[in-house]
Amino acid sequence: MKLLTRTSLSYIYISGVVFVISGLIFFNLLHDIFKRQIDETLIEEKLLIEQTINYSDSVPDFRLIFGHMIDVTILNAPQTKTGYISDTLMYDSDLGAFASFRHLFAENTSIRHKGYTINIYKPLQDSEKLITEIVISLVLVFMSLLALLVLVNYFISRRVWIPFYRILDNLNKYEINQTAPLELPGTDIYEFKRLNQTLEQMSKKIRIDFMNLKEFNENAAHELQTPLAIIKSKLELLVQKENLDEDQLKLISSVFEATTRMSKLNQGLLLISKIENNQFIHPEEINLTQLLDTTFEHFEEMIAHRGISITKNYHHSLILKMNHTLAEILITNLVSNAIRHNIFKGRIDVVVQSDSFTITNTGQILRTNPRALFERFRKSENSTDSVGLGLAIVQKIINLYQMKIDYIYDAGLHTLKISYK
Amino acid sequence: MKVLLIEDEKELSFSITEYLQKENYLCEAVFSFDSAVEKINLYHYDCIIVDINLPDGSGLNLIRELKENKSETGIIIISAKNSLDDKITGLEIGADDYLTKPFHLPELNARIKSIIRRRSFGGVNEILFNDLRVLPEQMEVSVSRQKLILTKKEYDLLVFFLSNKDRILTREAIAEHLWGDEMDMADSFDFIYTHIKNLRKKIMEKGGEDYIKTIYGMGYKFSGQ
């Protein structure tokens, strides 16, 4: 949920609750006020009637004066003074239905010692109508005020948050290994200014650390090359010495193999850091199907040795625009991966579409998480002689050219799909 | 045969010179750009092996200087930089070959021989060994004048052996020579074995001797003795 939606909604919820409660209180208050008003009129009328009775002992037609139901009865016997005011339901002939009335009842004895009872019925309908009208108009005013407030709040907030979303966009686009440091859009709001400063400082530090690490990796791999070359050359000279016995040769052979592995590893790491540093430029148009054909040719002995059958489905000719060396490395790694992790007498299917290509090979079920496939130094247990950099390099090349790679496993078939984003 | 080695890494330089001296080359080694310039202006070499990254200059400039003097010297670049750019530039300005460090000494030796063969005017470009005769331009091999039919890999293997005769060739060096460095070592050792078996058989069928000796756990040696 967006912050703006959240604040607007909370605003509406809270205002709604406050509105309902205060509305009820207001309604009751209004009701009481009106009732009190009516009661006061009723008492005034009663007093007027009493005065008239005291003067004349007769009952004038009050109905004409007050316009509502008044019933006064003069009794001969004196009455004790009582009286009350209450709500009552009565049949209203004007309306033709029952309606609520305010009823005043009073009994008393006049100065001339005659008792009388007074019943005044005042219809509540008009005042109730008035209350309803007042409440409705108030509700309308309040609602429109609320709507206005919410809208104003929404637009102000939206304006206020614009820099925040710009900062987010910039952060999203930023990649730590790009050459320029992080730059965030300027803003005159203090909080966002602080956010900007903090983010910029943080990214600067991360960038420096990242660069240092990258540089270290690259230098380490680079500096290892010379000693490795020396070791290899000395071993080759050592092998040429006469009178070496079998045990000594075996020892040298082991050292030799380990050195070879190490230098392969080193070359792989160096390659990765070169790809990361964008040192492969000059993109060329690479005919993928041609490249696949030559690569399979290159591995033909290995393929024959393992009895692997190859099926090629070139539905389209796909032209990759990338550095020639990297294209070769990419395809070589994918093909050798498909051969290396294949089973004896397995198969490899290659499908080339207009915007993607897949390499499918038979093989044992993956025991590790497929996502870890593209990590460095990941290798399956049954191929100890690989250094585990092949797919990591593939991933780096894929990323460099804005392509994507997906791993799909289905019924003993491992598929790597490379497609343009 | 005079070879000049320009390599600033002394230990590597010593190894190369030691290996090449057994081939009866007169191998001179210098460790800097300046001394290399001095040498190439004073003397004539059949082949120059040059490292691109020298502390006091670029090996590429040395090649340019050689080419300006219309030198016929064969040039092999050795460089730690596995970069295509260097390779392309080097070959464009006139280098004959390019090797990436770390390389196998027999590989360097084979490349030198191939360059020298190509440049030897007058004489016939051929490799002779006892009753074996290889014509590299035609890629033809014969044993006692009988033509051998070899596959591309068998031919490459034979020439590699002949360039490094009487030396132990490790399986790694052979594998890298035949397939480059993307091959799985364990697998390629099997293929080497098969190729050598076939090559040996083909030579012996035509009455040749068994020149290829297996050095247990290490590699092979091509030798007439």
Judge if B68 and B149 occupy the same domain: no
Determine phi and psi for A415, rounding to 5 degrees: -120, 130
Judge if B6 and B114 occupy the same domain: yes
How far is residue B112's CA from residue B49's CA, in Å, rounded to a whole number?
9
Q: Note whether A240 contacts B168, CB cutoff 8 Å.
A: yes
| Chain B interface residues (partner A, CB cutoff 8 A) | 9, 11-12, 15-16, 18-19, 22, 80, 82-85, 101-106, 153, 167-168, 170, 172-173, 179-188, 190-191, 215-219
Taking contacts as CB-CB distances below 8 angstroms, the residues of chain A near B82 are 267, 270-271
Mean pLDDT of B127-141: 86
Does B186 or B171 have the greater pLDDT score?
Answer: B171
Q: Residue A379 in 3-state DSSP?
A: coil
Q: Which of A253, A279, A302 sits opposite B217 (nearest CB)?
A: A253
Domain edge (last residue) among B60, B94, B119: B119
Q: Could you tell me if residue A157 is inside a domain?
A: no
Judge if A267 and A309 occupy the same domain: no
Q: Which of B102, B168, B216 sits opposite A246 (nearest CB)?
A: B216
How far is residue B24's CA from residue B46's CA, in Å, rounded to a whole number?
13
Task: Give all strands of the β-sheet with B219-222 in edge-to-edge order.
Answer: B168-170, B219-222, B212-215
How far is residue A192's CA from residue A186's CA, in Å, rounded to a whole number?
9
Q: CB under 8 Å to A296, separation ≥6 — which residues? A: A303, A310, A335
Question: Model confidence over A184-204: pLDDT tens digits?
Answer: 777 788 888 888 889 888 888
DSSP state of A365: P
Mean pLDDT of B50-76: 88
Q: Could you tell me if residue A181 is inside a domain?
A: no
Q: What is the CATH number of the domain that holds A289?
A: 3.30.565.10
Q: Could you tell me if residue A182 is inside a domain?
A: no
Q: Could you tell me if residue A56 is inside a domain?
A: yes
Nearest one of B3, B14, B92, B2 to B50, comparing CA atoms: B3
Q: What is the CATH number of the domain that holds B10?
A: 3.40.50.2300
Judge if A248 and A349 occupy the same domain: no
Q: Which two tokens stand for residue A93?
A: 């002939």
Residue B82's pLDDT is: 58
Question: Model confidence over A156-187: pLDDT tens digits?
Answer: 888 888 888 888 888 888 877 666 777 777 77
Q: Which two tokens stand for residue A60?
A: 């004038």
Q: Could you tell me if residue A243 is inside a domain?
A: yes
Mean pLDDT of B91-98: 90
Judge if A292 and A259 occupy the same domain: no
Taking contacts as CB-CB distances below 8 angstroms, the residues of chain A near B190 are 305
What's the domain range around A207? 190-276
Q: Which of B9, B15, B188 sits opposite A237 (nearest CB)?
A: B15
> pLDDT truncated to tens, each residue of chain A (421 aa)?
777 788 888 888 888 898 889 888 988 898 889 889 888 988 888 888 888 888 876 776 666 666 677 888 888 777 788 888 888 888 877 777 888 888 888 888 877 777 888 888 888 887 888 888 988 898 899 889 888 988 888 888 888 888 888 888 888 888 776 667 777 777 788 888 888 889 888 888 888 888 888 888 878 887 888 888 899 899 989 988 878 888 888 888 889 888 888 888 888 888 888 888 777 778 889 899 999 999 998 888 888 888 999 999 998 888 888 888 889 889 998 998 898 888 889 999 999 988 899 999 998 887 777 777 777 776 655 555 566 788 888 988 998 888 889 998 888 899 999 998 7
Domain edge (last residue) among A276, A293, A320: A276
What's the domain range around B211? 127-222
Q: Note whether B191 contacts A263, CB cutoff 8 Å.
A: no
Q: Note whether A240 contacts B19, CB cutoff 8 Å.
A: yes
Q: What is the CATH number of the domain that holds A12?
A: 3.30.450
Q: Which two tokens stand for residue A216?
A: 């270290």
Judge if B14 and B63 occupy the same domain: yes
Q: Could you tell me if residue A176 is inside a domain?
A: no
Residue A115's pLDDT is: 83
Name the domain count of chain A. Answer: 3
Residue A231's pLDDT is: 92
Q: Could you tell me if residue A170 is inside a domain?
A: no
Q: Which two tokens stand for residue B128?
A: 């002779």
Q: Which of A250, A270, A298 sits opposite B82 (nearest CB)?
A: A270
Domain edge (last residue) among B119, B140, B157: B119
Residue B11's pLDDT is: 92
The model's confidence at residue B71, banded by pLDDT at 50, 70 and 90, is: confident
Q: Note whether A301 contacts B217, CB cutoff 8 Å.
A: no
Contacts A–B by Cβ distance under 8 A? 106
**CB contact A69 to B (< 8 Å):** no
Residue B186's pLDDT is: 63
Name the domain count of chain B. Answer: 2
Judge if A291 and A316 occupy the same domain: yes
Q: Which two tokens stand for residue A178?
A: 């790009």
Q: Which two tokens stand for residue B161?
A: 């052996």
Per DSSP bridges, beta strands A309-314 and A347-352 are parallel
Q: Note whether A236 contacts B80, CB cutoff 8 Å.
A: no
Q: Could you tell me if residue A224 is inside a domain?
A: yes
Instruction: Report pTM.
Output: 0.66
